Every structure is written in C-alpha cells, then in structure tokens.
Amino acid sequence: MRPRAKQVRSHSSRKVMSMLNPASSTRVAEVRPVTGAWRSAGPLFLLLLAVLLALYWDTASSMVEIWLRSETFAHGLLVVPIFAWLVWRKRGALSNVSPQPCLWGLAALALSLAGWLAAEVAGVQVVRQLAFVASIPALVIAVLGWRIAWVIAYPLAFLFLGVPMGENLMLPLMNFTADFTVGALQLLNFPVYREGTFFELPSGSWSVVEACSGLRYLISSVTVGALYAYVSYRSIWRRAAFIAASFVVPIIANGFRALMIVLLAHYSDMKIATGVDHIIYGWVFFGVIMLLLFWVGSFWQEREAEDVPPEAGSAAWRPVSAFRTAAVGIAAAALLAGPLLYVAQLAQRQLPPLPGLVLPVEPGAGWTLDQEVALTDWRPTFQNPDRETTLQYRRNDEVIVVHLAWYGRQRQDAELINSGNYMIEQEHDVWSNVGERILPVTPHALRETELRSSRLRLLIHDWYVVGDTPTANGVIAKLLFARNLLLTGDDAGYAVVLYTKKLEDRAKSQALLREFAALLEPGLEKAVSP
C-alpha cells in the first residue's frame, strides 16, 4: 500500500505543478515511424529542391557571394544552418502529418517563378533572390502539402532573412544618426555646425558615413531577434512585438552609440574613439544593447508549443494517390524549367549598333567645348558601359562637365541600374558625399548630389533615360526596361551626369546646371543614335 500511496502523491504533485505552470503541460510530439507517403513524397521534394538549386544556381550563388564579401550580410551564412536546425526541432510534429500534394502550391510556385522572370528581365537582383527563396515554401506546399508547411511556416519565413536586402535604408539611417547626434549635442549645449551628414565641434570634425549608419547592427538585430522570438514565444503577437523591438531598438541605440563616440573623443582631446577603437566601442555597445533586449524579453518567455496544423487528425492521414504525387512532381519540374527557356531566348539578342555619343561643340548660350584644363579628375563610376564619354564645357569662368554612360543591352554586371554604379565609393580617400536628394523639377526630376574634397566642392545633377523616357528613380527605370524589352525587344538606356563647382550660393549652381541641361537635352537623342 505504501507504493500505491506514493504513486498517488506523485500524481497529485504533477497535477499541482501543471496548474501552477500551464506551459509544463504542453503536449510533446512523439516521432512516428516513417510512412509510405513520406517515403515517396520526401525524396520527390528533395529531388525537386536539388533541381531548383541546379537550374537557378546563378541566383543562389549570387547570395552566397554577397554573404562572403559583405560584412553587412555575413549573417546569411548562418541562415541555412539555423533553418535546418529549426526544422529538425519540428521532426516530431512533422512525423504526425502525412504529406498531401497541393495544387495551390503549384500556383504559388508559378507565381514565384513569374516574379523571378520579371526580375531577370528587369535586372533586379534582390527581387530575383526573393523569388528564388519564395520558390522553396511553394515547393513544400506543392509536394508535401499545406499542413506540413504550417508546421514549419516560421522556419520557412526565416529563410527570407538570408536575402541580402536593406541597402536602400542606408541613407535614411545615416540622416537619422546625424539628426540624433547633432540634436543631442545641441541639447547638451555644444556648439555644432552641420552640413549634410558632416558636423563640426570645437574639438574636431565628424561625418556619418555608411559604416556609421547602423545598417549592420539593424540587420543583425532583426535576424537574431527573429530567432529568439521563435524559440522563446509561442504567441504570434509576442513574436511580432519582439521582432518589432529588435528593429526599433538598434536604430535608436545607434544614435546613442554615435553620441557616445563623439563625447569620448571630445573629452579625451580626440585621443580615443577615433581609430579602430571607434569600431570596437560600437560593437561592444551593440552587444550590450542586444543582451538588455533579450533580458527584458525573457520576462514574457513561453515554452514552445507543438505546431499542430488545423484538421490534423484523421484527415491528415488520408492515403495519397501515387499518380497525384507524380503528377505534381512533373508539373513542378516543368514550371521550374519554363522561365529559363525564355531567358535563354533573350540571351540570344545581339548588342545594337554603338552610338557615337557626339555632343555639339557649341550647345548655345555662349557655352563652348573646352578640354584644356580639367575642372577635376573625379568621374562617376559606371560598371562596364557599352559606350562612355566625358566632355567639358566653359562659359567665361563657368565650367560644366558632361558624362554619358550608354548600355545597349542590360545584362549581369553591365546594366544601367546597378549597385556598382555610384557617384563615390564608400570611405573614399579624397572625396566625401555630403548628401543627395531628388529634385522634383520640370520637365523631369533630377537627382542632386554634393561631393567635397579638401580643395573643391562639386554639385552634381544626374538622371536616367530609358528608351525616350527620362527618370531619376532607379525602380521606375527598371520597370521601364522590363516594359520595353517585353513590348519591343529593346532595353537600351543611358545615364546623364552634369557637374560643376559648387558656389557659395547653392541656388546659383543649381540654376546653372538646369540651364545647361535644357540646352543639352534636345541633342541627346541624336548623340545616342548609331
């Protein structure tokens, strides 16, 4: 009778503990033996995944190359192993659901591949990569079914964090950091002179460059935060709230980091926080902030519950027709091959005849071609243009330089809209980017950039021309390229860059460039004609 009484007390104790800690009663999925449905659908999915990687290897390898060369996106090297670990943790739940091929998955796969094709035609690498990653969940739904996709929905969504994206946040983050730092210094009664992302204190000069934007911190924080939210919470709202916090907190923290570095340098007479230690202090500060974020988040921590898909009872174990599984596999393989066949046809296009890019010697209003004494040796950087020229014009003491870069056919590493095309590279030895903005002027918008060196300041106006349509927006230019290629088979385009010495009166320099652009544009169509 004693063992019986002990057993009762043990059962009662477990019941009390279950009431005190509901999470401890979470159902734990047991791993079932592999069923016949898994034996057929599992290898089929792995085969189609291998086909996807083989056919779209250029897209997959482009992500890996960015992970390897960019510190900002180096986290991508960990995304796939973490995804595999997250799926492995769900092996018990997965074994309790039988694969059920789903036609909606084929529709999702077709939509993903259509997005890849559109991005390939337009030459938008990040959309190409996003569409490639989106094809993986689509394959899961098509071959294994939506119930299995539900079980590993979060890990599948986590894969998208491996796509190198977010560089368009660089400039807004730089401006926010500069605004925050200068505003805080002014609140502390420091005399500050600001110009764009540059500011000066009595103790020294500072600039918020790309490395100070906080983009690396932000991307790392969101990635780690998404992982922490998944393993720490089971509520969708708690996960979403923590991910949102991992996005907002590093942006604000980066402002404090920049302020801390400026104050350290100021009070040390510019002896600390100005060299390598500048970066070290930044990462140490970021590490402390992340630890604090995790510590606060731990107060709402929950044990992870088993992800049981809706209607996962007997309906989840319906027998699956071998014919249906095979038909879905064949359809998926055909969809995977389709876009590449069309791209192969596009690749056969010949480069159109090269234009002369000959501009008038005297465009009017007293301007004449002058190649004797160059205003500057600076040139905008364009990657592998099919034709490029730089000409300088003078009117008395006024000088304007014209740079044209023409691309007859958009292809990888030789396209008008590309991250390799820029006014100035990051952390240049001579030139610094003071700032840039879009000017909504007539007859079309312009992008204005200001560069400065120790001897000269340049004001730059530039825009793109796709077909016969000018635009200063890279996204619109990409869409125009895709439209022209699909409708006419032609995707030629060129960039126009005008620059002059920036005067004390900025408006006068702007008016000078716009006046010259009005004289130049009527002759551009002839200049780019073969």
Cα–Cα distance for residue pair 419/305, rounded to 1 Å: 43
Q: Are residues 394 and 470 in the same domain?
A: yes
> Of 273, 300, 327, which residue is a domain's last?
300
Most confident of 172-181, 260-269, 275-284: 172-181
pLDDT digits (tens, 9 = 90+) for 53-76: 999 999 999 999 999 988 889 899
Q: Which of 23, 28, 20, 91 is nearest to 235 (CA)?
A: 23
Question: Does residue 515 fall inside a structural domain?
Answer: yes
Residues 388 and 510 in one domain: yes
Over residues 445-459, mean pLDDT = 92
Mean pLDDT of 384-391: 94
Q: Cis ω on the peptide bond leading into residue 443 (within 30° of 0)? A: yes
The tally of domains found in the chain comes to: 3
pLDDT recorded at residue 2: 37
CA–CA gap between residue 119 and residue 98 (Å, rounded): 35
Establish if 4 belongs to a structural domain: no
Give me the long-range contacts of 16-19 (CB less than 8 A, separation at least 24). Answer: none
Of 241, 265, 300, which marks where a domain is finished? 300
Structure-model confidence comparison of residues 84 and 95, the more confident one: 84
The pTM for the full model equals 0.75
Structural domain range at position 286 = 167-300
Q: What's the order of all strands across the beta sheet hosting 204-207?
A: 193-195, 198-201, 204-207
Least confident stretch, 203-207, 387-391, 506-510: 203-207
pLDDT tens string 286-326: 788 888 988 988 888 776 545 455 454 444 455 566 777 78
Q: Over the stretch 419-429, which tens digit does the pLDDT of each residue have?
A: 889 998 877 78
The residue among 127 and 39 whose pLDDT is bigger is 127
Please count the other Cβ atoms lying within 10 Å of the Cβ belonging to residue 525. Answer: 10
How large is the average pLDDT for residues 252-260?
Answer: 88
The whole-number pLDDT of residue 13 equals 42
From residue 125, how far is each of 120, 186, 327, 411 by CA, in Å?
7, 42, 32, 11
Coil, strand or helix: which one is 505? Answer: coil
Same structural domain for residues 389 and 279? no
Domain boundary among 245, 266, 300: 300
24: in domain: no
In a domain, 292, yes or no: yes
Residue 353 is assigned to a structural domain of this protein:
no
Whether residues 294 and 314 fall in one domain: no
CA distances from 419 to 11, 118, 141, 383 (A): 65, 19, 34, 9
One domain for residues 329 and 452: no
C-alpha distances (whole Å) from 199 to each of 194, 206, 207, 516 are: 4, 5, 6, 32
For residue range 396-420, list pLDDT tens digits in order: 989 999 999 999 988 878 889 888 8
- Range with top average pLDDT, 28-42, 129-143, 221-235, 472-486: 129-143
In a domain, 250, yes or no: yes
pLDDT digits (tens, 9 = 90+) for 212-242: 788 888 998 999 999 999 988 888 899 999 9
Residue 251 lies in a domain: yes
166 burial (CB, 10 Å; 0-12 / 13-18 / 19+) is: middle
Residues 318 and 280 in one domain: no
Same domain? For 434 and 459 the reply is yes
Question: Do 123 and 202 lie in a common domain?
Answer: no
Is residue 362 a contact partner of residue 369, using CB atoms and an 8 Å limit?
yes
- Residues 316 and 293 reside in one and the same domain: no
What local confidence, expressed as pLDDT, does residue 321 receive? Answer: 66
- pLDDT recorded at residue 203: 80
Domain membership of residue 413 (yes or no) is yes
Contact in structure between 380 and 423 (CB atoms under 8 Å) = yes
One domain, residues 272 and 185 = yes
Confidence grade of residue 22 (pLDDT, cut at 50, 70, 90) = very low
